[in-house]
Structure 1
Amino acid sequence: MNNILEIEELRTHFDTEDGIVKAVDGINLRVREGETVCIVGESGCGKSITALSVMRLLEQDAVNVSGSVRFGDTDILSLTKPQLRSLRGNDIAMIFQEPMSSLNPVLPIGQQIMEPLMDHLKLGKKKARQKAIELISQVGISRPEQIANSYPHELSGGMLQRIMIAIAISCNPKLLIADEPTTALDVTIQAQILDMLRQIKEQSNMSILLITHDLGVVAEMADYVVVMYSGKIVEEGEVVELFERPKHPYTQGLLRSKPIVGQRQAELYSIPGQVPNPLMLKESCYFHDRCEHCMSVCTSSEPFLKQVGERQKAACWLYEEVLTHV
C-alpha cells in the first residue's frame, strides 16, 4: 500500500514577543492510500497546527515552517500560491472545526458548493448547481433544492457540518483532513457524521487524516493512531494494538480518563498537572512532571520514538536499552 501523504521532520515555530513557540517540533507521519489516521491529544498539543501546516493555511509573517510535506510526488511546502489553489479542494480537502466561521454568511449554500466545482472541475453554472444539489442530498439533507437557496444562519450546526463535508468531497479528493469535525455536535448527530465519513471513504477509497481529542471517535474511525504531546509524537501504532497495549504513560493516562460502560466509578481519573508552557520547554521528556514513572534521565534527556511493536512506536525512556547502563 502506497503512502499518499508523507511528513518528514515537520517544524512549525511561531515568533512571539516572549520567544519562539514550537507548536510542532520535528514530527514524522505517514498516511497510506485508503487509510484513516487519527491524531489525538489534549488541546494545545499541535494537532490542528499540523493540519494547517500541511494545507499551508498559516500566516507566513509570524510562522516558520520547515521540513518536508509530500503529497504523492508533490512537495507541498515548495508550491506557489496558484499551485496551492489547484491542490486545495481538488486533491486535498479540509473540514474545519467551526462551519459557521468557515462558510460565507452572505452567500447561499448552493453557491458556496458550486465554487469548487466551477473552479476545479470547470463545470458551467447549470451543471455545477445540479451537482451541488446532488451533494446536499448525498450528505443526508432533505429538501436539497430549498437548502441550496438557504443561508448559513438558517441551518443547524449538524446541517452546516454536512454542508462542509459536501464542499470537501465535491471534487473527489484523494485525502480528506478533518479537524475535530464533530466537536460542537450532540452525540446522535456526531454518530451520523462519522458514519457518513466512513461511507464516503469506502465508496471512494479516500484517505482521511482525522484530528480529535475524543478517544471514542478514534476507536470507531482509526486504522492508525498518532498521539501528540507538546508538539511531538509520543506514541503511534495500529488502533487495536495501541488501545489494548498502550506503551507511553501519556497514552495510558488518556485511556484511563475515558469512562467505561457498565463500570461505576466514584471519581473519573484525570492526568495530574498541566501541559507545560511552550515557552518554557527544556531538554527533557515534556511529560516527566506528570508521569508516575518519572526517572532522573527523563528530566535531563529527550526520548525519541522507538519501535515497541510490529507497527507501534513510543518515545519513552522505559523502552530504552540505555537504562541498563545508567
Structure 2
Amino acid sequence: MLWNTSRLLAVATLCAAGAAAAQDAYPSRPLRIVIGFPPGGAADTIARIYGDALAKELKQTVLIDNRPGAGTTIAADFAAKSPPDGYTLYIGGASLMGGDNALYKKLRYTPADFMPVTQLTTAPLLLVAGKTAGIRNVAELLQKARQQPGSLNYSSSGNGVITHLAGVHFAKLAGVTMTHVPYKGGAQSAQAVAAGDAQVSFATPASVQPMIDAGKAVPLAVTSARRSPVMPNYPTIAEAGVPGYSLSNWYGLFAPAGTPQPVVDRLFAASARVLADPTLQKQLAGRGEEAAPSRSQAEFKAFAAHEGKLDVELIAQSGAKID
C-alpha cells in the first residue's frame, strides 16, 4: 500500500509528539548512577549524597551501581554502552575525558561516547601519612624520601587515576623517588596507609577521613594551590615545601552520548537545585568536598575537555601504560 505525503507527515508528527511527551514525563522509572569505585571512597560517598537528593527532587528512586576495577574503565564502558535515555548516568572525572584512552590501549569508548551534564563537586586531595610512618609534615616526608630513594610507598585508588598522578606530580616537582602501590579504591588505599603497608597517600578526603578520625593517619597538606575552604587548617603542599604544586579532584555527571537534550536539561536543572541546598553542601563539606555546580552545560563541557587534556599530560609524565 502506498502512503501519500500527508499521511507520512501525520505519522511523523505523532511520533515526534510521542517522543516529546515521553521526555516531558522524564523520569517515569528509577535511575541508575554508575561509578567505577567500590563503596566507601569519595566517589561512592558523593554519589550517595547526591543520589539521595536527586531522588527527592525528581521523585524517583536513584540507585547507585558500584562497578570497580580496571581504573574505572569497567564502569565507564558499561555506562557508555547503556541506552541514551537518561536512566543510566555516570559520575566521573578528568580521566573519562582522555586519560583512560591514554592509559589503556583497548578501550571500547572515547570521550565522544559521553555527554557532560554538570560538575558536581571539587576538592583538593589530602596528603596523609600512616601513624607508624614517623612522618608529621611535608618537610619530614621530603627528608625521608631523599635519604632513602624508593623506600617510601604511596598508595592510590588505581593506576592512572588522580590519586596516582598526584604522587607522580609530587615526585617530579620535589625531585624525589617513591614507590607507587595501586589498590582498587580509595577505601582500600586508605586502609593500606592505616595498616602500614604504605607510608603515605594522596587521598580523597572522604576516603581517608575515617582513618584520620581513628588516629591511624596523619594529615600533612592539601594538594590545591590555595587552602581549602572546607579544610582551612591544612597547609598546601606548595607552602609546605614543594613550590608550584597544584592539583584538585572533581566529579561530574555524565550521560551516554545521544541522550535527548530535554532530558539533559532536566538533569542539569535538577542538579543545580540539589547542589544549592545548604544541607547537602554541609554533608559534602563534612567529607572534605565542595559543591561546585556548573553555570551551564556548555561551561562544564569546556571545563571537562580542558581537564581531560591535563590528565593526558600527567599520564604521559608518569609513563604509565596498561594493556
What TM-score do the two structures reach when normalised by structure 2?
A: 0.26
Higher strand share: 1
Length-normalised TM-score, structure 1: 0.25
Q: Which structure carries more helix by proportion?
A: 2
- 1 or 2 for the larger relative contact order (CA 8 Å, sep ≥6)? 2
